[in-house]
Chain A
């Protein structure tokens, strides 16, 4: 398994947010984490990369237990994270944003260069010197993904990549994610949008109120409209 999450519990202060979350991602797989607003998708991702201080449980990445490691070490193992709010460095240019994400080449992961990323996201190549703050939402979303890919991750946590984007940009996003998959990057993508998730994912988990309440292939999910309707707003 590429990534295994077991018994993950997270707290914000006195509030218990995640309850015994567990899921797995196989080598080269695209797995969707589906759920409504506030279900705990982002917190799950933030907990995996160590951005939530109060968490317990076991997170195994490529056979190594990374649960107790600081964020930057987890990321340097090749576990990339693309946050929901994009969090572009608005004062930095596109190229400088990419530079922040740059990490050495990794033997078991595709190697990304600026040029390669500019082919994947042609828009970015046309605005190398533009400050992140003066880009559209879609361009910023591309930049966050490209920035994380500069770290040559073997697995990427993509937090709601389609949120707030126009249908045309969403299409580009689907293409980009499929390209990443083809290159051999494993992906966990959190989504509210089932249609989007279906276009890219092999399997799906549904999270509701901090608990995983379904896990299976997309076909299995389609066979259970009751679950789909109960936990996902369509």
Chain B
């Protein structure tokens, strides 16, 4: 019994940090509508700076002072980030902000390694809380008890801050209607900056307080950000009480899941999140949002099919790409195949995101399922390659059919979060069901048949499939189905009012996108000769998002171009520099700030400018386009 109580208390102690970080994310999202991917990075910097400060200055004052100063310093960095980066992209579509903060995260990951080195750093114990309390023969670290007490205290302070101060009232008002707050004479800029500072402070404090419990390392940002996403979604975005309850819930699930369901401990949390989202899509303590005013797009250029000249140009590009084996070596061909596969992956997400307006954060799940499908068929059933390639993606199709059905019941950020949760579930199954999937060791030896074994043949195969997939999806964009899908994207209510079964259309789009991603995954398995859980992991999902956004989410060709540029750049950078994440992250941030329409969007705009002098008001940089009354 005592053991379970101790386990419970350990869970509560873990909840404290999680709550701090989650409440910060929630507050920032509430006001700025930015899902701050960099929140985990701020948490990590908080831990690193606190480590340095507490090592430098001894004594109780040095430790507690160090923790607080670290959080304040990171808050200051947050202010800088907000003023330099975020202020420029508040009016961009919400995913752009995610992309920008993701770029920031990449940069921070390399920067902390540069400053503090790659090794885990074990921090000092907290003065005054070094011992343990005996509880019926079980030890409870007294620092844990401190954290357990801290959680409710912070909750109380935040509650007072939001209910009892003018700042809090303004923040709550801005959470609901930013423009109206400005129309009442409040300077939104500083309100946003202060909110961001408070949110970042909480994240950094959460990180700093972790140093007596956990080693500080350079991957702690991604681990926490996923958990924090789960917490805010279960609790309800924007609700601080919700963040608290959900942080406790998640921490306890982690603490006891290990004991009770060791096999599925990882997915337990995500399973709970998926259930919460399906039953209460706005989270336990969130409020159902009135159909949020959509961030209108940056461009209002209607999409059009390629002109015959452009078709010829695309064909020419394809032909040139097909001549690569004539002069390039094997390495280049392997890279080329990988790029072609990622084109498939990117256009599949692009179809869902740009055409359907459904931004999936877990698209890699279907890519990976396609890969695993091939691996199962090839290794277990011993089927020939061509059959595997045809049937393997069906696993992605089935996954998309099941998960998509639930996911399309939601929209916006919640849709993104649910797809993330589903992807994590699939990842966890691949990771933990060792007897079938090989777990972390993956499935090895998935080699292509002899006809496709040479790099040039495989390259042609990948290129051909990529071209076929791209053309098919493009045709679909301009088909009646594509029109209907775009109608559900632009106005769900109106599309239903003209007789479109919106959910079914979206579900179909989800399945199409998932199957297409599965085709990419199937080829990928043969390219690499193996399948690993990483093939359906978060970082791959994020890669896909980056590719689409980089290419231009509001363009038809964005996915293709984005995949080529991002993947080529990525592979090249990794070969050129040890600081590839720093460079890549910087590049992403630059793109977001300077070219918010993505590469294709920018090219289109330049072409349009050349055709006619620009109409009044359409400047190079994004201006919000409000919906006309």
A-to-B contact residues, CB < 8 Å: 9, 11-15, 17, 38, 42-43, 49, 51-54, 56, 70-73, 75-76, 81, 83, 87, 89-92, 96-97, 99-103, 147-148, 150-151
Task: Kindly list chain B residues whose C-beta atoms are within 8 Å of the C-beta of A14.
Answer: 300, 615, 618
Partner of B623, one of A9, A53, A56, A100: A53
Task: Kindly list chain B residues whose C-beta atoms are within 8 Å of the C-beta of A147.
Answer: 184
**B146 CB to closest chain A CB, in angstroms?**
34
Chain B, residues 151-182, CB within 8 Å of chain A (1/0): the string is 00000000000000010011011011101111
Partner of B628, one of A15, A83, A91, A100: A15
**A188 CB to closest chain B CB, in angstroms?**
15
Query: Contact at A13–B625, with CB atoms within 8 Å?
Result: yes
Nearest residue (CB) in A for B166 is A99
Nearest residue (CB) in B for A99 is B169
Query: Contact at A38–B629, with CB atoms within 8 Å?
Result: yes
Task: Kindly list chain A residues whose C-beta atoms are within 8 Å of the C-beta of B180.
Answer: 83, 87, 89
Task: Kindly list chain B residues whose C-beta atoms are within 8 Å of the C-beta of A83.
Answer: 180, 183
Q: With A and B bound together, what is the CA distance between A151 and B181 in angstroms?
A: 12
Nearest residue (CB) in A for B617 is A54
**A100 CB to closest chain B CB, in angstroms?**
4
Q: With A and B bound together, what is the CA distance between A169 and B341 in angstroms?
A: 65
The answer to whether residues A56 and B176 also contact, given A13-B300, A100-B181 and a CB cut-off of 8 A, is no
Query: Contact at B629–A42, with CB atoms within 8 Å?
Result: yes
Partner of B186, one of A38, A52, A72: A72
**B294 CB to closest chain A CB, in angstroms?**
14
Query: Quick one: which of B220-253 are within 8 Å of A by CB?
Result: none
Task: Kindly list chain A residues whose C-beta atoms are within 8 Å of the C-beta of B175.
Answer: 91
Report if B627 contacts A (CB, 8 A).
yes
Task: Kindly list chain A residues whose C-beta atoms are within 8 Å of the C-beta of B627.
Answer: 12
Task: Kindly list chain A residues whose C-beta atoms are within 8 Å of the C-beta of B616.
Answer: 9, 11, 54, 56
Nearest residue (CB) in B for A42 is B629
Nearest residue (CB) in B for A37 is B629
Q: With A and B bound together, what is the CA distance between A207 and B431 in angstroms?
A: 66
**B9 CB to closest chain A CB, in angstroms?**
35
The 9 closest A-B pairs by CB, nearest first: A54-B617, A75-B185, A12-B628, A13-B625, A71-B182, A13-B300, A100-B173, A87-B180, A76-B185
Q: How many residues of B contact A (CB 8 A)?
A: 31
**A59 CB to closest chain B CB, in angstroms?**
15
Task: Kindly list chain B residues whose C-beta atoms are within 8 Å of the C-beta of A76.
Answer: 185
Query: Contact at A51–B179, with CB atoms within 8 Å?
Result: yes
Q: With A and B bound together, what is the CA distance between A177 and B628 in angstroms?
A: 29
Task: Kindly list chain A residues whose C-beta atoms are within 8 Å of the C-beta of B170.
Answer: 100
Nearest residue (CB) in A for B184 is A101
Query: Contact at B623–A54, with CB atoms within 8 Å?
Result: yes
Report if B188 contacts A (CB, 8 A).
yes
Query: Contact at B629–A151, with CB atoms within 8 Å?
Result: no
Task: Kindly list chain B residues whose C-beta atoms are within 8 Å of the C-beta of A56.
Answer: 616
Query: Contact at A81–B626, with CB atoms within 8 Å?
Result: no
Query: Contact at A100–B186, with CB atoms within 8 Å?
Result: yes
Q: With A and B bound together, what is the CA distance between A72 and B175 in angstroms?
A: 17
Nearest residue (CB) in B for A38 is B629
Query: Contact at A72–B169, with CB atoms within 8 Å?
Result: no
Task: Kindly list chain B residues whose C-beta atoms are within 8 Å of the C-beta of A91.
Answer: 172, 175-176, 287
Query: Contact at A53–B188, with CB atoms within 8 Å?
Result: no
User: With A11-B617, A52-B626, A72-B188 given, can you name 19 additional A-B contacts, CB distance below 8 Å?
Assistant: A11-B616, A12-B628, A14-B300, A42-B629, A51-B183, A53-B617, A53-B625, A53-B626, A54-B617, A71-B179, A72-B185, A73-B187, A92-B172, A92-B176, A100-B169, A100-B173, A100-B184, A101-B185, A151-B184
